[in-house]
Structure 1
Amino acid sequence: MGRVLGCGLAALATAVTASLVAVTDDASAIPADGSLTLVTLNGPGTAAGERSVEELLARQDAVLAAIGGGEPTYRWTTALNGFAAPLTDAQLEALDRQPGVAVIEADEVRPLAGRTSLASVRRPVGGSPRLRGGAGVVIGVVDSGIAPDSPAFAAVPGLGASPGDFTGVCMAGEGWSQDECTRKVVGARWFVDGFGRDRIRSSETLSARDDLGHGTQVASVAAGNAGVSVRVDDRDAGTFGGVAPQARVAAYKACWGAPDPSDDGCSTADVVSAVDAAVADGVDVLDLALAGGEGIDTLQRALLGAAEADVVVLGAAGNSSRSDFAAHVSPWVTTVGASVGRMARGRVSISGGPTLTGGGRPVAVRGRAVLARDAAAPGARRRAAAQCRPGALDTRRVADRVVVCVRGGIGRIDKSEAVARAGGRAMVLVNPRAGSVTADFHAVPTVHLAAREGRRLVRWVARHPGSRIRLSRVAASPAPRRAARWSASGDPRGPVLKPDVIADGDAVLGALPATSGRSWGVFTGSSAATAHAAGLAALLLGDRDLPAAVVRSLLTTSAQPVRGATVLEQGSGALPQRAPTAHLALDVPVGAWRRALRRHDLTDLNTSSVLLQARRSVARRTVTNISGRAEYFSVTARGFTSHRVRVQPLAVRLAPGESATFTITATGPSTPGRLDDGELVWLGARGGVTRVPVAITR
């Protein structure tokens, strides 16, 4: 019998956690906290078309009867065959002896992969120029719910063809009636029994309505309506549009707010239940903006069922690069990390002094500078003033000045709000140490400087009090993308290369629930990047009838590598802003994933990336011409520094639908733990570039 599966190459199975198998003297006691155990049985759910619901339920009942279990909290029959229930230690011990059990896993709360800022938008923002795309496609968003009254989800004319195969429901709840669903928000469900009704904060609603804001932002970036007017604080701030503005949204609320915000998150049992329901409903794209989990666990097996049902599955890599590898290690999930750098830039020009550049969207403004540390309000500490904490600034010293604030202590947006309340004209935010810069929407014109530039500014103003400063927007093109330092990178010992791609994940504008106090805000994290990828997937499906595995391949191989990042940090690179148009794809037959899982070896799958490790020097992949015309394709290996990488054949001519297998051979030093990486670049005679990243860690 299998346990929670890890992601080592030699074997995926690992021992179940000690808390699951410990047997106490009081073996009949149900867990005092009501925690659930997730149990997955061998074989697929009904999505694979092999067995009926009745057969799966009968098998579940047999296992429950054998361990003396009652009716479980959740049953899963579509994406996988399993259940979640509170089990005693004695029942767990009996379950361990049952044949046909694939995974036993303790429920846990996983964090959302994004952080929301309630930003003040003080200048026009550029919306998506795309007015069409994604018609007839349903994006299922497993998150914190949705705000259906946002104009981003209004049932506007021009949504195009309605989804033909979607059968989801509009589940009623607190503050939510069936009338909340429209031609835009086509389905809504909520799942809370894993997280616990008694553990949610008082402001949460037991319905699909979003109170945290995260799910609304994700859904709006992926599929928000085009040309939506953005108004904040009664000001016109331009227009907004999602990546696939004609796509529909189905919300599956499985993430909740707790009394302590640090406990916010998503119970695995609730998330798996949401995935099972989404697959049964018939979504086309599935977006999961949550991190956590290790190996091929219960959730990954549920997502396998989704992939077998021809759903394009996208998962956030996570934002804890220092402590965790990228989440969603399975090859049937497109794992998306975050990039930064494609942000608006601002300039700080000091009269008679240096000109410095950072992140920002400032309107042109001039004024005399003051260091916040030198403008402390009576009774306020100098450190609090330096960080521009609310109430710490002396209005007499700050009024009509450009205030230089130090990052830390409170949120970046909160600092500009404090400057505005104190009468400041503008703000320059400086990093006290190495770290990223952002282009948030602030209460006053703001430029955010990195530590080096910030030190130059602080020294100058300290020596020249009252210096005149001008803030302005940099008109040149945005800074080049780079992989976010906080975005989780892949495990060099994993079965496949992760993350698959990266996308914009810093200060991304999205809609918010009206209950948040603002209708719009920015959010940061790999969740924002995953929303972008989900929108691109919807664009592809809206234009062409493609299998989910082909869509995954086109997304991954269309990315553009960014400088200074390894393939374990960026996968293929940064996703484009428009739907890919390449004619080559690396398809994976539906049954291949499960066969590889049974063999405990995922390395030979026809993935759109290559990971060579543990004395492995040869890999094979198959490309298919998915266009309607014959075409000549050639390949080049590039970027490797310590290995010679050969590809055979170097060129192929493929008729429409024809495939060719090529071999990748790496020769060079075998240094465990050392990474050498590069890419294989396929060029088509009719245009189109297909990139396959390769990591060598053997």
Structure 2
Amino acid sequence: MRARLVGRALGCGLLALSFFALPTAGAAFGDDAPSPAAGPAPLTLVTLQGPGTSAGTRDAADLLARQDVLLAAVGAGEPVYRWTSALNGFAAHLTEAQVAVLDDQPGIAAIETDQVRPLAGRTTMAAVRGAATSPRLRGGAGVVIGVVDSGIAPDSPAFADVPGLGRAPEDFAGACAEGEGWTVEDCTRKVVGARWFVEGFGQDRVRSSESMSALDDLGHGTQVASVAAGNAGVSVRVDDRDAGRFGGIAPQARVAAYKACWGAPDPSGDGCSTADVVSAVDAAVADRVDLLSLALAGGEGIDTLQRALLGAAEADIVVVGAAGNSGASAYAAHASPWVTTVGSAVGRMSRGRVSAPGGPSWTGGGRPVDVAGRAVLAQDAPAPGASRREAGQCRRGSLDSRLVAARVVVCRRGGIGRIDKSESVALAGGRAMVLVNQRPGSVSADFHSVPTVHLPATAGRELARWVARHPGARLRMTRVTGDPGNRRTAPWSAPGDPRGATVKPDAVADGDAVLGALPDSTGRSWGVFSGSSAATAHASGLAALVIGEHPDWSASVVRSQLVTSARPIRGSSVLVQGAGALPNRASTAHLALDVPTHAWRRALRSRTLADLNTSSLLLPLRQTSAVRTVTNVGPHAEYFSVTARGFTSHRVTVQPLAVRLAPGQSATFTISVSGPTTPGPLDDGELVWLGARGGVTRVPVALTR
């Protein structure tokens, strides 16, 4: 089977058309390739049939010889890149005539014109205020996360070579490539590898402030790496203020940086050339990373990148990719079942409490440190020349420092940005801020200049009346521990294709205002970022925790444990949330759905991706049954029972309903569906396996037409 992918990648033959075809995403994917008359021939990505050396069945010399035969057949010189580890292929500047000749050659799997993919996150450095948190001190020891992104800032304290990193990686064989601002000394026990790839993007298209090395200038890669594997207990200082402590999800994990994303003179041109990204993946596979994190979107179907990631899966590497942030215009990126695709959730808000000693208390959004002080209503403390309305909204320069110094200032929402209000309070000498809504609406947990709690309208009115009746009374502000609240799927998080082979995204994770480290070149050491990049970083860290605790588990089992530990978000479709929102800790369940490494490519060749033993089920209603095999990966024999939940218009049954499995033993279950087959709304739900030792394994099911 051979497919031609020119311009936008359209997938792989009938397989892509039936399972992975996506809607047009517009000019953001770089559809227009320059004609030969306008300059150099476009960069073309060519993939040969069969795996790379990662599958353990091929010899690199043989792969290179096959590439040479094809290059000679079209009269092409030495290509820009050659790939032999994750896949067998190359990237070369080819004319249309050369591509036409190449398309007639035997043994070619895909031909694709290079494109620039967008990063899947947005940084807001101005919003960094307030207290950070350090959720755990250990986890991920011995694991190497390969981060394909915009590089890394090795000088950040998040990546310092600190004691307590635990056991060293055993199999990693990566290099530390020197370049501008980067020497071999920048690689440490924490940042264990560094490479950079720019030939696809083009050095002539890179902004002048970029470093030709793995050094991060954009900040995106540093943020992703720090959230996934940043050191624990790192002090966060913003604008010379102590903002608490930070820690990554897997603080003992190591990072190997593969810089394949670059900044352009116009920031709208920032992104990652597919050729550079594939080269980074090929290098990471050769380096034997344990996990690959790709917080970039774009691409459609089984394109060149997905084939490279297939090679990573065959090398038993866990692959995590971002679903993307184009929820209104495109389906989730990384549609292949061997990638754990992560969408974004919002609303998992940190909370704070404002209390009057011996009196009432009010709870809202916030990340405050413990603080106390006399209260003042902002409208009662206007600066000379400022109106009560301006002061009440805590506009810049509107507060009289003589009246608010060392006070807890109650500010009204509206007029200016929320974090601008806390900055005004800080400039006037205020100790803390209570932000109150004036009408029904959401509350937030922004990073502020002073400790802040954001109250909803009803609670805000109660607090304001109490302060008015008790002028000068003291208020105490504290952080609320425990469940931080409910999540919801972000409206901009890209959904899955109902015609796909499997449920996408696989799960969602926190993707709104996530704190991460930044390189000094950005002007700040810390920043918050949003999008499926942040969610991907979270999921990558969780996967590293699982690998660190169970280094003998296969990548497929780790993927299953990660995805099936998610908790469904009420009111959200399976094709928007996958299995649900990922937790903040590794799964303790003992049941997994395993896919042997050889099964991915076999299913790709036979066009039966939907029949793989994945941790989800997307079933067209013309298909009334499916099977899944579960394996006890725990250390003890255990009983497991299963129920089907959440379906509204169909009856879904599972047989058998219970089974006892010894360690390593597997059992096959049959899922049967009955009900209407006429067009109607999507019906979805989940299969829930309960272990006798308390583990819960959830498998999402979508019934499509």
Deviations 1:288-321 (A, max 9, x none): 1111111111111110000000000001111221
Deviations 1:387-435 (A, max 9, x none): 999xx86577999465545488x8x656654675577877777999999
Of 439, 443, 451, the match for 2:449: 443
The answer to whether the Cα contact below 8 Å between 1:407 and 1:429 also exists between their aligned partners in 2 is no
Match of 1:2 in 2: 3
Deviation at 1:103, TM superposition (A): 1.6
Of 288, 300, 307, the match for 1:301: 307
Deviations 1:497-540 (A, max 9, x none): 01111122222222221222322222222222211221121122
Q: Would you say 1:655 and 2:662 are equivalent positions?
A: yes
Deviations 1:260-282 (A, max 9, x none): 22222211111111111000000
Q: Would you say 1:116 and 2:117 are equivalent positions?
A: no
User: Could you tell me how far apart the structure 2 residues matched to 1:555 and 1:563 are?
Assistant: 20
The answer to whether the Cα contact below 8 Å between 1:356 and 1:453 also exists between their aligned partners in 2 is no
Match of 1:475 in 2: 480
Deviations 1:154-213 (A, max 9, x none): 111222221111110001111000110011110000111122212222221111111121
Quickly say closer, same or farther: Cα 1:299–1:370, change in 2 above 3 A: farther
The answer to whether the Cα contact below 8 Å between 2:443 and 2:454 also exists between their aligned partners in 1 is yes
Q: Would you say 1:516 and 2:516 are equivalent positions?
A: no
User: Could you tell me how far apart the structure 1 residues matched to 2:664 and 2:477 are?
Assistant: 53
User: Could you tell me how far apart the structure 2 residues matched to 1:367 and 1:298 are?
Assistant: 61
Q: How many residues were matched structurally?
A: 681
Q: How is 1:61-76 mapped onto 2 (pairs within 5 angstroms)?
A: 61-76=68-83
Q: Would you say 1:532 and 2:541 are equivalent positions?
A: no
Structure 1 unaligned spans of 5+: none
Deviations 1:429-488 (A, max 9, x none): 7999999754221224445578x889x97xx99xx9xx9998955636422222222222
Quickly say closer, same or farther: Cα 1:151–1:27, change in 2 above 3 A: closer
Match of 2:251 in 1: 245
Match of 2:497 in 1: 491
Of 71, 75, 84, the match for 1:77: 84
Match of 1:169 in 2: 175
User: Could you tell me how far apart the structure 1 residues matched to 2:165 and 2:648 are?
Assistant: 49
Deviation at 1:28, TM superposition (A): 5.3
Q: Percent identity?
A: 69
Q: Would you say 1:568 and 2:569 are equivalent positions?
A: no
Q: Structure 1 stretch 395-404 or stretch 551-560: which is displaced more? A: 395-404
Q: Structure 1 stretch 540-549 or stretch 623-632: which is displaced more? A: 623-632
Quickly say closer, same or farther: Cα 1:642–1:272, change in 2 above 3 A: same
Of 47, 56, 69, the match for 2:63: 56
User: Could you tell me how far apart the structure 1 residues matched to 2:601 and 2:256 are?
Assistant: 27
User: Could you tell me how far apart the structure 1 residues matched to 2:109 and 2:441 are?
Assistant: 43
Deviation at 1:690, TM superposition (A): 1.1
Deviations 1:663-683 (A, max 9, x none): 111111124362111111111
Q: Which amino acid aligns with 2:672?
A: T
Q: Which amino acid aligns with 1:222?
A: A
Match of 2:631 in 1: 624
Q: Would you say 1:692 and 2:699 are equivalent positions?
A: yes
The answer to whether the Cα contact below 8 Å between 1:318 and 1:488 also exists between their aligned partners in 2 is yes
User: Could you tell me how far apart the structure 1 residues matched to 2:394 and 2:271 are?
Assistant: 30
User: Could you tell me how far apart the structure 2 residues matched to 1:93 and 1:446 are?
Assistant: 63
Q: Would you say 1:548 and 2:558 are equivalent positions?
A: no
Match of 2:605 in 1: 598
Of 92, 98, 110, the match for 1:91: 98
Q: Which amino acid aligns with 1:687?
A: G
Structure 2 unaligned spans of 5+: none
User: Could you tell me how far apart the structure 2 residues matched to 1:539 and 1:386 are?
Assistant: 47
Q: Which amino acid aligns with 2:617?
A: V
User: Could you tell me how far apart the structure 2 residues matched to 1:434 and 1:327 are?
Assistant: 36
Q: How is 1:262-273 mapped onto 2 (pairs within 5 angstroms)?
A: 262-273=268-279
User: Could you tell me how far apart the structure 1 residues matched to 2:113 and 2:363 are?
Assistant: 49
Quickly say closer, same or farther: Cα 1:180–1:540, change in 2 above 3 A: same
Match of 1:323 in 2: 329
The answer to whether the Cα contact below 8 Å between 2:377 and 2:392 also exists between their aligned partners in 1 is no
Deviation at 1:97, TM superposition (A): 2.3
Where has structure 1 moved over 6 Å in runs of 4 or more? Answer: 13-20, 347-350, 354-357, 374-378, 385-389, 395-399, 422-436, 467-471
The answer to whether the Cα contact below 8 Å between 2:378 and 2:399 also exists between their aligned partners in 1 is no
The answer to whether the Cα contact below 8 Å between 1:109 and 1:268 also exists between their aligned partners in 2 is yes
Quickly say closer, same or farther: Cα 1:433–1:34, change in 2 above 3 A: farther
Give the secondary structure class of the aligned counterpart of 1:42. strand
Deviation at 1:684, TM superposition (A): 1.7
Give the secondary structure class of the aligned counterpart of 1:616. coil
Q: Which amino acid aligns with 1:40?
A: T
The answer to whether the Cα contact below 8 Å between 1:679 and 1:691 also exists between their aligned partners in 2 is yes
Question: TM-score, with normalisation over the residues of structure 2?
Answer: 0.86
User: Could you tell me how far apart the structure 1 residues matched to 2:365 and 2:492 are?
Assistant: 18
Q: How is 1:3-22 mapped onto 2 (pairs within 5 angstroms)?
A: 3=4, 4-6=9-11, 10=18
Q: How is 1:205-244 mapped onto 2 (pairs within 5 angstroms)?
A: 205-244=211-250
The answer to whether the Cα contact below 8 Å between 2:40 and 2:93 also exists between their aligned partners in 1 is no
Q: Which amino acid aligns with 1:10?
A: S
Give the secondary structure class of the aligned counterpart of 1:82. strand
User: Could you tell me how far apart the structure 1 residues matched to 2:649 and 2:431 are?
Assistant: 54
RMSD of aligned alpha carbons? 3.9
Match of 2:642 in 1: 635
Deviations 1:223-257 (A, max 9, x none): 11222222333333332222212111100111112
Q: Structure 1 stretch 162-171 or stretch 231-240: which is displaced more? A: 231-240
User: Could you tell me how far apart the structure 1 residues matched to 2:394 and 2:43 are?
Assistant: 45
Deviation at 1:607, TM superposition (A): 0.3
Quickly say closer, same or farther: Cα 1:597–1:643, change in 2 above 3 A: same
Quickly say closer, same or farther: Cα 1:17–1:187, change in 2 above 3 A: same
User: Could you tell me how far apart the structure 2 residues matched to 1:387 and 1:102 are?
Assistant: 62
Deviation at 1:602, TM superposition (A): 1.1
User: Could you tell me how far apart the structure 1 residues matched to 2:90 and 2:283 are?
Assistant: 13
The answer to whether the Cα contact below 8 Å between 1:121 and 1:237 also exists between their aligned partners in 2 is no
Of 676, 679, 703, the match for 1:672: 679
Quickly say closer, same or farther: Cα 1:106–1:438, change in 2 above 3 A: farther
Of 367, 384, 392, the match for 2:376: 367
Deviations 1:36-75 (A, max 9, x none): 2222111111111222111111121222222222211111
